[in-house]
Structure 1
Amino acid sequence: MPRPSIPQHHLLRRSAARPVATRPHSRPVVATRSLKTTSSTYSPTPSPSRQVSQPSTSTSTFTTINASEISHFSNLSSHWWDEDGEFKLLHRMNPTRIEYIRQKVALQPADEEHWSFEDRHRDLEKEAERGSGLWLTGKRCLDVGCGGGLLSESLARLGGEIVGVDASESNIGIATTHAQQDPQLSRKMSSGELQFRHSSAEALRDAGEKFDVVCAMEVLEHVDQPGEFMKCLGEMVKPGGHLILSTISRTPLSQLLTLTLAEDVLRLVTPGTHTYRKFVKPHELRRFVHSDMGGYNTWHKNEDASDIRTDEVGETRGIIYDPLAGKWKLWGGVEGTFWKDVGEGCNYMYHARKRI
């Protein structure tokens, strides 16, 4: 992949109205971070109980959601589908996020792939068919912090049964209204194959909801307790299922691009959207899944060079903005090399697959 220049856009993306954390007025630079949490004050929120086709109520009182964050993103909800507005770069990032999900879900090695001499002539044909068409058919997917439904709509069009959940009621209203304007998506909503719920990840977890694919795009850097939030997501992944995130690393480069340039100088993103100390480095995320989420007893080892690690679970890949092409691209590089670390210096993706 050609080395792109590092523009102010490199790190600008926004999650769907984040079920998220408080932003202080000042942004302290913190040298270290842990996803582990100890005690906290829980704010009671009503939660929906498990229903296959529609939301209902539950009695969960634990949440990582913060009211001021929800208010912040709710004020921006009307801009969700303006491709040249506040979420311009997120619209451009969406195809690259979908491609990463496709690589991890549709192109994964078959657990028990049938092979015989009789149909060996179809090997190339079968390989070409993988990851094409409605490759999410038969899979139930969760989009946490769905916002206006950008990722949820894309996943629904690929055949998945989608639940988009957001703590902002206005975002859910925007997502529902926009999807209803598309006849295909409207039919999926009528049949329950596409749902938008005003709720939280914790409420779905407490109600016993399970999914083949759990996504949380640009949410982790906004929650009050990232460790508890990660464990909540992991508990909702079915055996054999996938946990996929995108977030921001805590580096001087990310501080420069996301906070100084994007928010304070260029105002491409509303000031106060991000807080530097809440960013999580890739190795911190991988080590937390190993130490606090079951490690290799719960999650598969990677199938690439990163399997040499013994205390980290999951794959991370940088996602960078190429200003010449006007597109976001997945970054390459061999695990443990300087080149790979450079690509993960700002935005990055994370994937882990649960054992059966």
Structure 2
Amino acid sequence: MDTENVAHFTRLSSQWWDPQGEFALLHAMNPIRLQFMREKLREVGEWEQTRASVENGRNISVQQPWLQSGAWLSGQRTLDVGCGGGLLSESLARLGANVTGIDASSSNIEMAKIHASQDDKLSQQASLDYQSIMAEDLLAKGGKEQFDIVCAMEVVEHVRQPDLFLRTLADLLKPGGHLFMSTIARTPLSYFLTIFMAENLLRFVTPGTHKHSQYIDPDELVEHFRTQTPWISAGETTMSPKRLQYETRGTFYVPGLGKWVLAPRDSNKTITEAANYFFWIRKPL
């Protein structure tokens, strides 16, 4: 993790749970994060159920929690990397996941713990654990292939060695597990929106929060998982349609609505993934 970025977010740690403050856009993004996650998990679950039925010549019911309503992450061991003050971690825990939230900033973790302790449901259950630790150190402590789901939302653009970071996330996942990320493409549009407008002009976020040179294009993430962590061409995923191996999907903020929306799957990716986007990939079995 970039130590300069860790120090930056440590200074801002007290603002995590102010929905109108420094992290207002992340508060607004949380619902769309969960929407993307549920859509992908449901899609994979339905595909597996259909394939099992075809292979067995009869209707087979494959138990998948994300095909159900309510606690659709029930029992899923989930890691939230770069959890900050716990915005996503708390939501995942409320949906039934057994969540481990980690962050390199101890101040962020302290703020996350304080906020969770104020919710009786979260404070009384053992499904939400926060640790001030880096992903690489968690892996070294025995985290290899421990998690069904790994999330790294708005994190990789703050990392100095993204390939190493991605390999670490891959090693933390169980075979068949799901990796969810959101980040920002390295384009002129993303510079205009996220740095010139959001930081320098409108001051939605503190100047210096982002470094355009550290942004990562969708094609670069896909290429990593073709070559350095070769999931896309390996294992049983080759039997599945491309969208069930991996997917990139643009997302954008609509000021008039005060919320983020997912780009349609059939949209022009050159446009819709030119700034913020989601990435999902499944680890081969």
Query: In the aligned structure 1, how far is the partner of 2:189 from the partner of 2:237?
Result: 31
What is aligned with 2:257?
325
Contact 2:186/2:275 (CA < 8 Å) preserved in 1?
Answer: yes
Matches within 5 A, 1:293-312: 293-295=229-231, 296-297=233-234, 300-301=237-238
CA distance in 1, matches of 2:212, 2:219: 17
Bigger radius of gyration among the two: 1
Q: Is the 8 A contact 1:302 1:314 kept in 2?
A: no
Structure 1 gap ranges (5+): 1-19, 22-65, 308-312
What is the distance in 2 between the residues matched to 1:97 and 1:318? Answer: 11
How much has 1:297 moved relative to structure 2? Answer: 1.4
2:183 corresponds to 1:247? yes
The structure where helix makes up a greater share of residues is: 2
More strand by share: 2
Amino acid at match of 1:241: G
CA contact (8 A) 1:299 1:354 kept: no
Task: Using structure 2 for the length normalisation, give the TM-score.
Answer: 0.89
Q: How many residues align?
A: 276
Aligned to 2:246: 314
Q: How large is the RMSD of aligned CA atoms in angstroms?
A: 2.5
Equivalence for 1:344: 273
In structure 2, what is the Cα distance between the partners aligned to 1:132 and 1:71? 40
CA contact (8 A) 1:247 1:347 kept: yes
Aligned mates of 1:174, 1:197 — CA distance in 2:
12
Instruction: Supply the AA of the counterpart residue of 1:285.
Output: L
1:211 aligns with 2:170: no
Secondary structure at 1:84 match in 2: coil
Displacement of 1:323 in angstroms is 2.1
Measured at CA, do residues 299 and 344 of structure 1 come closer, stay the same or move farther in structure 2, by a change above 3 Å?
farther
Q: Once the 2 structures are TM-superposed, how far is the Cα of residue 138 of structure 1 from its aligned partner?
A: 1.6
- Where do residues 22-33 of structure 1 align in structure 2 (5 Å cutoff)? none
Would the alpha carbon gap of residues 136 and 88 (structure 1) be closer, same or farther in structure 2, given more than 3 Å must change?
Answer: same
Mapped contact 2:189–2:274 kept (Cα < 8 A):
yes
Question: For residue 9 of structure 1, what is the aligned residue in structure 2?
Answer: none
CA apart distance, 1:306: 5.6
**Corresponding residue for 2:284?**
355
Which one of the candidate residues 13, 24, 45 is aligned to 1:77? 13
CA distance in 2, matches of 1:74, 1:302: 44
Rounded to whole Å, the distance in 1 between the matches of 2:271 and 2:238 is 23
Aligned to 1:195: 129
Structure 1 residues 187-245: Cα deviation after superposition (integer angstroms, max 9, x where no partner): 12xx3x21000101001111221100000000000001000000000111101110110
Q: Secondary structure at the match of 1:325?
A: coil
SS of 1:332's equivalent in the other structure is coil
C-alpha distance in structure 2 between counterparts of 1:305 and 1:342, whole Å = 21
- What is the CA-CA distance between 1:333 and the residue it aligns to? 3.8
- The change in CA–CA distance for 1:240 and 1:288 in structure 2 (over 3 A counts) is same
Instruction: Tell me the amino acid that sits aligned with residue 250 of structure 2.
Output: G
* Structure 2 counterpart of 1:259: 195
> 1:30 maps to which residue?
none
